[in-house]
Amino acid sequence: AGSSILQDTRSLVVKEFFKSLLLSFSPNLDEFNPDIPEWRQDVGRVIKKALLQVSDFPEEHLLVAVFPGVPTAAELFLVPNKNQSDDRKKCEEELEKASSVIVTALNQNLVEFELKPGVRVIVYNTQLTLAPLVDSSPRHSSSAMLMLLSVVFLGLAVFLIYKFKRKIPWINIYAEVNQEKEQEMIGSVGQSDSTPKITLSEFTTSKELMEKELDARVKRGVGNACESTREIPNCTSV
C-alpha cells in the first residue's frame, strides 16, 4: 500500500471556436456553498443534467464550470462536434441554435434542480454580470432601453436647441419682443432725460414779488407827478 501511486489523467481537446453563457442561481444555493472543489464539481454535474432536460445538445459537448466564491456563479460552454474549417459555418449555426434554446429555457425559469430534499435551485441566464437574480426578462430590458433612449433624446434636444437657437422661429419672435420692450424702455428714459428741468432757484419768492411790485408803484407815482407838474399853467398878473 505504501508503494502505490495514484495518477490522475485528463485529456484536453482544443477547439477553434465555441459558445458560452454565464449562469447565476437563486440565493438559497449560497447557503449550502462550502467553496470547495469537490462541491463545485458535483453541482456542475447536476446543472449539466438539468440543462440536458431542456435541450437535445450532445452531452459530451456541453460543459459546466462553477466558479469559486460566493455568490455562486457558473459558465456554460457549448463546443462543436467537429473542428474543421470547412464546416465552421454550419457548426456555428448549430451552436447558435442550441444556445437560443437554452437561453429561452433559462429566461422562462425552466432549468432547476433539487439540491437536497425540499431545496430547489433555479438557474438563471446572467448578462454582462455574475450577480445572481438578474432579471433578463424582455419587460425589464425594454423599460431600461426606453429610459436610456429618453435620456439620449433629451440630451440631443438640448444640444440642438443650444446650437440652432437662432434658426428656430419661436425663439426669434421671443427675442424680438424682448428687444422691442428694451427699446421702448430706453426711449422713455431718454425722453424723460430730454425734458427741461426747472430748479427751485428759478422760482421767485413772495418777498421778491412784493419788492418788485413796490418798485413798479414808485416808478408809476413819480411819472404821474412829473406829468402833473407839466400841465399846471404859469399865471402872471399884468
Q: How far apart are CA 91 and CA 231, in angstroms?
A: 150
Give, as one character, the DSSP assignment of residue 164: S
List strand residue ranges (DSSP E) for the chain, in order.
19-25, 62-66, 73-78, 112-116, 119-126
Question: What single letter denotes the amino acid at residue 50?
Answer: A
Instruction: For residue 30, give the C-alpha cell.
Output: 449560497
At residue 66, what are phi and psi to the nearest 5 degrees?
Answer: -90, 130
pLDDT of residue 26: 92
CB 121 within 8 A of CB 132: no
Count the alpha carbons within 13 Å of 114 in the hemisphere toward its beta carbon: 3
Residues of the chain falling short of pLDDT 70: 1-2, 6, 8, 13, 15-16, 82-86, 127-142, 164-207, 218, 221-238
SS3 content of the chain, % helix, strand, coil (to 5): 55, 15, 30
pTM, full prediction: 0.47
pLDDT of residue 39: 92
CB 23 within 8 A of CB 76: yes
Beta bridge partners of 50: none
CA angle 157, 159, 164 (to 5 degrees): 95
Q: How far apart are CA 51 and CA 26, in angstroms?
A: 16
pLDDT of residue 172: 57
Burial-class residue 30 by CB neighbours within 10 Å (0-12, 13-18, 19+).
Answer: middle
Kindly list the domain boundaries of the chain, sorted by start residue. Answer: 19-136
Q: Could you read off the pLDDT of 143-200 as tens digits, one per residue?
A: 777 888 888 888 888 877 777 665 555 555 555 556 666 666 666 555 555 555 555 4
pLDDT of residue 187: 61
CA 152, chain centre distance (Å): 7
pLDDT of residue 195: 53
